[in-house]
Amino acid sequence: MKNYGIKVTMPSTDTMAAAHLLGENWSSMRWYDSAEKRDRAFVEMERQPPWYRRGDAPTVVLEKVDPD
């Protein structure tokens, strides 16, 4: 069972949060079998994507999710 997750959201000030794009309540979840796998993925997701232009910066907010 995949109980460990990463919730991805974005700040309300992000241009992609506009209602005609993703909307202010957009979020995405990624699930993992263990905290260790989740934590490794979290570190990778925090890195600057290689396809971004120099000076661009991701604005996503990452949050670890643990089982209740």
For 35-64, the pLDDT digits (tens) are 999 999 999 998 877 777 777 777 889 999
Q: Residue 38 to residues 6, 28, 42, 46, 48: CA-CA distances in angstroms?
A: 7, 15, 6, 12, 18
Check: CB of residue 24 under 8 Å from CB of residue 11.
no
* Per-residue pLDDT at 62: 95
The mean pLDDT value for 17-34 works out to 92
* Per-residue pLDDT at 68: 74
Q: What is the pLDDT of residue 63?
A: 96
Q: What is the mean pLDDT of the chain?
A: 89
